[in-house]
Amino acid sequence: MNDRRQIIIEAGLGVLREHGYPGFTQPRVATAAGLRQSHLTYYFPTRVDLLAAVARAAIDGQLDAIDKMFDGASQEVVAASIASVAVRHATTRVMMALAQAADQEASLRDLFRELADGISERVGRLLEDLGIEPTQQARFMLHALSAGLAVIDLAVGRPDGERRAQAVIETALDLLAKGGKRT
């Protein structure tokens, strides 16, 4: 059943969201999917196979989520949207898991590149909407800034994390809007 594969992938995503990469084990995913670990390996023979499938789903989902995020794009709204993603720890755990997986498994690196390129592209469109020139520089900067905010917030877990993140992104967009015409 293709359906069951989908259930497993969803379960895997859930595990990644909650426990991150270190907690991503076959038994845990199998339990979450309602089947036995030895059954799971029928659909995904190895851990890396499973991880690749879950990564694929995570990437598609993340890019879709970004697409749906920006409609009425004022600088403030955009900053708030990015900040709200940055402090969603479940998402951060998944993204960090993909980064680590890409670091350790050469076969997954291309998947992560796809994610990074997809984000960069979307950030470019976003900057255009805001009237900021979408140079590679600017796109990369906003991407890295968001990623860093997410990781730091995950680890320090300050109560006002979202507010602070939003303020920083607003400032960055502000600086880009004002100064982006020269460099």
Task: Give yes or no for residue 6 binding DNA (CB under 7 A).
Answer: no
**Which residues, numbered 10-39, are part of the site for DNA (CB under 7 A)?**
25-28, 35-39
| Maximum pairwise Cα distance, the chain | 59
* Nearest distance in Å: CB 126, a second copy: 16
Among the listed residues 10, 17, 18, 47, the single contact to DNA using CB under 7 A: 47
Query: DSSP secondary structure string, 110-131?
Result: HHHHHHHHHHHHHHHHHHHHTT
Kindly tell me the sign of the dihedral angle through the C-alpha atoms of 174, 136, 86, 152: negative
Round to whole Å and give the CA distance between 143 and 117.
10
122 lines the binding site for a second copy (CB under 8 A): no
* Helix (H) / strand (E) containing 32: helix 26-33
Q: Are 3 and 13 in contact (CB under 8 A)?
A: no
122 C-beta neighbours (distance < 10 Å), count = 18
50 binds a second copy (CB under 8 A): no
How far apart are CB 66 and a second copy at their closest, in Å? 16
Give the residue with the Cβ less far from a second copy, 45 or 148: 148
User: Taking CB under 8 A as the rule, does residue 9 contact a second copy?
Assistant: no
> Can residue 100 be called a binding residue for DNA (CB under 7 A)?
no
The Cα 18–Cα 35 span in angstroms is: 19
One of 43, 112, 123, 124 touching a second copy (CB under 8 A): 112
DSSP for 1-20, written as a single string: -HHHHHHHHHHHHHHHHHHT
Indicate the residue among 15 and 83 with the shorter CB distance to DNA. 15
Q: Which residues bind a second copy (CB under 8 A)?
A: 19-22, 89, 93, 96, 98-100, 102-104, 109, 112-113, 116, 137-138, 140-141, 143-149, 151-152, 154-157, 164, 167-168, 171-172, 174-176, 178-180, 183
